[in-house]
Chains A and B, each alone.
Chain A
Amino acid sequence: MPVSAASLTDEELTAFVKARLLVSGFDLSLLPTTFDPATGVPTQDSLVASLKGFVRSTPGAINTWRPASGSPTDDDLYAQQVAPPLEYPSIVEAWTGKVDA
């Protein structure tokens, strides 16, 4: 059975979120502990709660998808150059001569 963010306890997830913020130099204590109507910025707790939801739902859905087959299989292992990354797909389409001028 593959592991995923779903395996994390709530405490582990909280610790992960706070650790990642620290690694990026983000000081959670700069946010208010109660709602501040002047800025509308999320409180420390609400931001952490939102980020926990993001971590539960999003990275795992992305990192388990593979270009060749849609899921991690040997097909992807043996198809290493399928779908090289494109930051600007429409521009690459033009630069590779596939657009009618």
Chain B
Amino acid sequence: MVAEVNRRAFLAATGAAAALGVVGTTEGAAAAPAAGSAAERAATARAIAGIRLPNVAVRAAAKADPTEATLAEAAQLLRRNVVTATELVSAHLERADTYDGVYQAFNARPAEAALARARAVDRGRVRGPLAGIPLTIKDNFFTAGVATTANSTIFEDFVPTYDATAWSRLQTGGAVMVGKGQMGPLATTRATLPNGTVTTVNAWTPADASVDPGGSSTGPATSVAARMACSSIGTQTGGSIILPANRQNLTGLKPTMGRVSLHGVVPLTYTRDHVGPLARDVLDAAIMLQVLAGVDSQDPRTQGLPRKPDFIASALPKLDRKGRVTARRATRVGVPEGYLASFTGEALALQTQALAALDAIPGLTLVDVTYPDDWALLTGTFNAVRLPERTEPFLRLLQQDPTRFGVSLTSWVQGLFLSGDEWITGQRAKHRLLRDVLDTVMADCDVLLQTSVVPFDILGLPEIGFPIGFAASSAGPDTLPVGTVLGGAPYEEDRLIEVVTAYQAVTDWHLRRPADPDLGGRVAGRRGAAPRLSADEVARLTA
């Protein structure tokens, strides 16, 4: 047992750099080995083929317009031959043809390949739980034969020869990629051009590019909210799944570190990068995670971890004898001291309502929790400890031509200004923070409302973001989604899914969709000058 733990610890310390050696030399990345052995691929295929999606009550709106459907609804419409995969994919592609000039959610749209794959699904040549489901894949996932730019000039000519494991698993499940999702340059901020010019807008306020759509998985979020894709995957290093989900009325799930392989993902910060879904509701997020999660021989961080639970079963509402929605398990929801005081105005009212709604669900209990004394320091200034992890793999390129980092350059250079002893102190601080969270803050609760995404990103713990209402925006009252975030114990994504499942069974915020953009009687294009972020803003906001 000790030898086994030591072997894994060694792999963890040394394997990440080898597994993800993509930076600065895109030629090297293209020459990296394909994923896994034939036996491993066959085992993965069998496991994914065995995933069964639940029968759900398909809403009338989804029957009338398949782009309205959740993933679970769309899969059911396909199973029952109400729509074909070609029709489903075409409907999403047509919306993108019409509206993506405004949204700018994609930076690549392999439409012909998507249609060809949809036709293959209809002919029975592609099967699986996600067969025919149109997805957006964030542009930092390697996609064989399709450009993978991470929205940076550094990777502008890079076409991978193999798929990221996460995308490979979704394909094994039968999914169809309708686009590469626009993102913050190198996964730093909301989506902009590499020079900082804003691209992707919030699907709820398409006429106002100043409204934050959340980043850096902005394109995946906007594409799903705007019904140009049924679901999506993004990455999170500092809130980049949770925040765009919160800001665009989606359910975003950042799993525990290691649940989903990072093989074939352009790294931002090795120890904090996570892969997860941005979905229309919690059932869709659970389905996506069920397919995404698994051991990958190419990523040592996925090995030796607790068994994958049945996430889909966790996302099915449970009713008591009186027909009331109840929690699947008795769960204590931790409310940090001063939680509500961190909000004002409409957001405060909505957070208060959400707490009341959670508290009213049988089986859920709100409990007060307190942060330790140096919480603000360890989750604030110590957040900088991540910076050398983005500097080190890119150093050769920083030396050769720093202008290729564009507006994002500063944080890559900041990493040069922490010494080795300071980086080690930061890793020791993670140890202290982990014990603070698990032994103190979460000693009396099972899930914890988050006042910031940073602590659980530092620790690699799971988080889920979900909608709780709407506030006013420049587009009018009740037009700006507001969400909240729950964090969980290591490898207990199922507990988070259970809580949000119960909440979404008694609320309908997640069913609302944004109005289509006003095209003004012509093919849409962005009107007026787009705002742009400065290098200093990006340095302050970067994930």
Residues of A within 8 A of B (CB): 17, 20-21, 24-27, 30-32, 36-42, 46-47, 50-51, 54-55, 57-59, 61-63, 65-67, 70, 82-96, 99-101
Contact = CB atoms under 8 A, between A and B. Distances in A.
A62 B9 contact: no
Contacts of B304: 94-95
B305 interface: yes
Contact of A41 (B305, B307, B490, B535): B535
B416 to A, nearest CB: 5
A17 B425 CA distance: 22
27 contacts: A17-B417, A20-B416, A20-B417, A25-B395, A26-B402, A26-B413, A40-B194, A41-B195, A41-B535, A47-B413, A50-B536, A51-B410, A51-B414, A58-B381, A58-B384, A62-B382, A65-B382, A67-B432, A86-B434, A87-B427, A88-B257, A88-B271, A88-B460, A90-B258, A95-B8, A95-B9, A95-B304
A45 B188 CA distance: 22
B406 A88 contact: no
Contacts of A90: 256-258, 434, 459-461, 490-491
Contacts of A70: 373-374
B401 A30 contact: yes
B361 to A, nearest CB: 23
B306 interface: yes
A86 B458 CA distance: 11
Given A46-B535, A91-B257, A99-B306, A31 B402 contact: yes
Nearest to B383: A58
Contacts of A61: 377, 381-382
A68 to B, nearest CB: 9
Contacts of B417: 17, 20, 51, 54-55, 58-59
Contacts of A25: 395, 399
Interface residues of B, number: 73
Q: B270, B374, B414: which has the most chain A beta carbons within 10 Å? A: B414
Contact of A39 (B194, B433, B461): B194
Nearest to B391: A24
Contacts of B433: 89
Contacts of A89: 430-431, 433-434, 458-460
A83 B432 contact: yes
A24 B424 contact: no
Q: Which 10 A-B pairs have the closest CB atoms?
A: A85-B427, A40-B195, A40-B407, A90-B460, A42-B535, A83-B431, A40-B196, A89-B434, A25-B399, A101-B306
Nearest to B433: A89
Q: B197, B417, B539: which has the most chain A beta carbons within 10 Å? A: B417
Nearest to B192: A40
Interface in B382-429: 382, 384-385, 395, 398-399, 401-407, 409-410, 413-414, 416-419, 421-422, 424-429
B438 interface: yes
Contacts of B406: 39-41
B57 interface: no
Nearest to B305: A94
A46 to B, nearest CB: 7
A42 B256 CA distance: 35
B102 to A, nearest CB: 23
Interface string B350-377: 0000000000000000000000011001
Q: B304, B382, B401, B430: which has the most chain A beta carbons within 10 Å? A: B430
B195 A38 contact: yes
Given A62-B382, A87-B271, A41 B256 contact: no
B13 interface: yes
A47 B409 contact: yes
A13 B539 CA distance: 20
B513 interface: no
Given A37-B195, A70-B374, A88-B257, A54 B434 contact: no
B5 interface: yes
